[in-house]
Every structure is written in structure tokens, then in C-alpha cells.
Amino acid sequence: MRIHWFTRREMTDLCSTTQREIASGLCKRGYSLTIINPDDEGTHELFPWQHVSLPIRSIRGFQARKLGANMKKYLSGNSSPDFDLAIVDWQVAPFIIHELERQSIRWILMDRSPPADKGILASLQWPSWKRAWKMVGANPSAIGCVVSKAHREFVLNEITSMTNQIIVLNAGADMELFAPAKKNPKMTLVYHGRLDRHRGVMALPMFVQKAYDAGIECHLIMIGEGDAYRYLTEMQRENDLFEVIPTMSPIDLAEVLGRCHIGLLPMPATKVWKLASPLKMAEYAASGLLILGIDHAGHRVKEERQPDWIKLVKQESFHEVGIQWLKSLDNEDLIKLSKRARNYAQKSMNWETSLDVLEDAI
């Protein structure tokens, strides 16, 4: 089967890991896949899929609209479709769905997260998100993909009752790439992902300082870029308890995670993060990391009783209770819980399960 994936995501972005893993998995299963996105021509040569480059130059907030218009033009310029199925990210769906249906091409909506921006950007994005899901409800043959059960319930409550048209594709991790390694001598805490203020990352330098003051020999690594990056890099010049590292390749990221002890999930209990299935959570566990985070649905594993290698606490007591937990962990605990995290990831956090679900929909 020939599949075209229309995505806003650039494959050079660390946040595109989900798209890369799903795309690679589809290729391994024998599908002929073409990615249509804004990446420059020639940048996908090492990937197993074909690539169509549709570069965009537009201010933030209007990029999806411009890209969607270019994608519609690309579609309408093909007199006879050369593919059987389209996967469409919600950001561009409102601009191309009607053209796909005009050409009798079946489509699947991909929603890896509702709008996560704040302020005016969110006000620009939410109407497109709702319109995309309404298009799923209006087409009985369409399928929509979400990242968690909470995300699925949110869509059903916000849009319409289309129980049989929504499938859950949980985030996973590459178990060969992300694996435990020889741990650093000092207890190392790590966060990777967007360094945006609304993700709770500003609480982490203070947390590691308080932990050190409480007698815990520890170090914090923060990996990524975002609106808090400059401020955090300025803070680290006066504090050697933590370091800030720009976005890195998945290979380099896996090497860093493998040597750490505890992965941090500081995202607050807001609407977007409650619906999430954090990719970093799977990558932490696959790397043999214990997890410390804010307690809400987006940070919990599917079992009702959370495993002992995950510590979730209320946002207002994150520092106090988190530090108490760190103090309770000796070296034997770290080794034992690290193995349990890795074993859980191998059984329940690999990409194959989500690929099976997607293939059934295809």
C-alpha cells in the first residue's frame, strides 16, 4: 500500500521522534511511504521513505496555514493520485481534507497533542484542531489517532460521539537505541524536551539546589531549546549543580540518558499535559531511569497502581516530597528500580504495540 503523510513536523526537530519511529515502522512492515513536510530537499536521503519538500516562510502562528495551502496545491496538481491512503496531522488537515475526499483518497487524522502553546498562538490553533476532528466525525470511513485514553475522552467530550473512529497510539521508545549504560558516579537527574516555561522547567534548578542543600550529592542535566533556554543558560553560569545542553541527535541523547539515574516530568496538571503520553517517559524507562514527576493522568502508566520506580507528587509539594524520595534511595534501590523500569519499558513501551493498532486501522 502507498501512503502519503502530510505533516507540519520537521524531522530535524527532537520533537519529531514519534513521527520518525512510526514512519520507520511502517516502512519496515512493507508500506511505501512518502513524507510531505517543510524540510529542505535532500534532508531525508538517509531515511527509508520518499520525501516531498514544501518549504514555508511565514511568521509563527500562520505557518500551518501556509503549509496547508501549499499541500492543497500539491494535491490538486496531481491529476491522478499516486497513493492509496493519507495520514494527515491535525495542523494541516482543515486545508487538505476536502481535496483528499474530492480525489476519493481515504485519510487518517494524526493528533499527537492538542495545541500546547499559550496566549494568542493557542487562540489561533484551537479552531483548526476542532475543525480537523469535526471532519473525522463527518466522515464515517475516517479514523483519528490520539496518544492516550485521556486524550480520547477529551476528543469525545469536546467534539462528538465517534467511539469507533478513534484509536490510541501510545508513545514508545526504541529499545535498541535507548538502553541502560554505566551510570554516572554522582546521582544525575535529567529532563529533555522543549525548555518552555509553561512546561514547568523553571522549577528544576531550584529543586536540584534544594536537594543539594539537603545533603544529596546530585547533578541536573536539561536538554532542549525553548523560551526558557536563554534564562536557564544564564542561571547555570552561577550554579554548577546543573547544566543546559541544546537539542541533540537521538543517538547522543540516548548516550546521555543511559548514564543518568532519574528522569524528570515537571509538566503541570494543565489540560494539554493531562492528555499527554510523554515520549520522554518511555525513553527514560527504556534507559533504566527512575521517574519523578507531577501527579496527573498524562504522567501515569496505564496500570491503576503505579510501579515503584515512578514517583508522582502534587505540584505544590514537588520539591519537598521529591527530595524526601531522593534521600530514601540508596545505591541498591537505584540498581533494583532501574532494572524494573527497563523491564517494564520492554514489555509495555515499545513502538510495535502502537504500530499494530495503526496497521489494523490502515
Q: Which CATH number fits domain 187-348: 1.10.287.810, 3.40.50.720, 2.30.140.10, 3.40.50.2000?
A: 3.40.50.2000
Q: Indicate the pLDDT class of residue 62, thresholds 50, 70 and 90.
A: low
Which residues, at least 6 apart from 319, have a Cβ–Cβ distance to it below 8 Å?
A: 203, 206, 207, 210
More confident site: 162 or 169: 169
Q: Does the pLDDT of residue 152 top 70, yes or no?
A: yes
Q: Specify the CATH number for 2-169; select among 3.40.50.720, 3.40.720.10, 3.30.420.40, 3.40.50.2000.
A: 3.40.50.2000
Q: The cell 516555561 sits on which residue?
A: 197
Residue ranges of the chain that CATH labels 3.40.50.2000: 2-169, 187-348
Tell me the pLDDT of the chain averaged across its residues: 90
Q: Are 228 and 204 in contact (CB under 8 A)?
A: no
Dig out the grid coordinates for 224 from the structure. Answer: 532542549
Q: Which range (56-60, 279-283, 324-328) has the least confidence? A: 56-60
Q: Given pLDDT bands bounded at 50, 70 and 90, which one contains residue 80? A: confident
The predicted pLDDT at position 327 comes to 96
Residue 161 has pLDDT above 90, yes or no: no
Alpha helices (H) along the chain: 17-28, 63-76, 93-102, 119-138, 149-158, 203-213, 229-236, 250-259, 271-274, 279-286, 318-328, 331-348, 351-361
Q: Report the C-alpha gap between 152 and 357 in whole angstroms.
A: 14
pLDDT at 23: 95
pLDDT at residue 81, as a whole number: 77
Whether the Cβ atoms of residue 204 and residue 221 lie closer than 8 Å to each other: no
Per-residue pLDDT averaged across 64-68, rounded? 88
The percent of residues above 90 in pLDDT, for the chain, comes to 70
Over 70: is that where the pLDDT of 13 sits? no
Return the pLDDT at 303: 64
pLDDT value of position 273: 81
Collect all residues with Cβ–Cβ distance below 8 Å to 303 and sequence separation of at least 6.
none
Predicted TM-score (pTM) of this structure: 0.83
d(CA 16, CA 193): 11
- Given a cut of 90, is residue 254 above it in pLDDT? yes
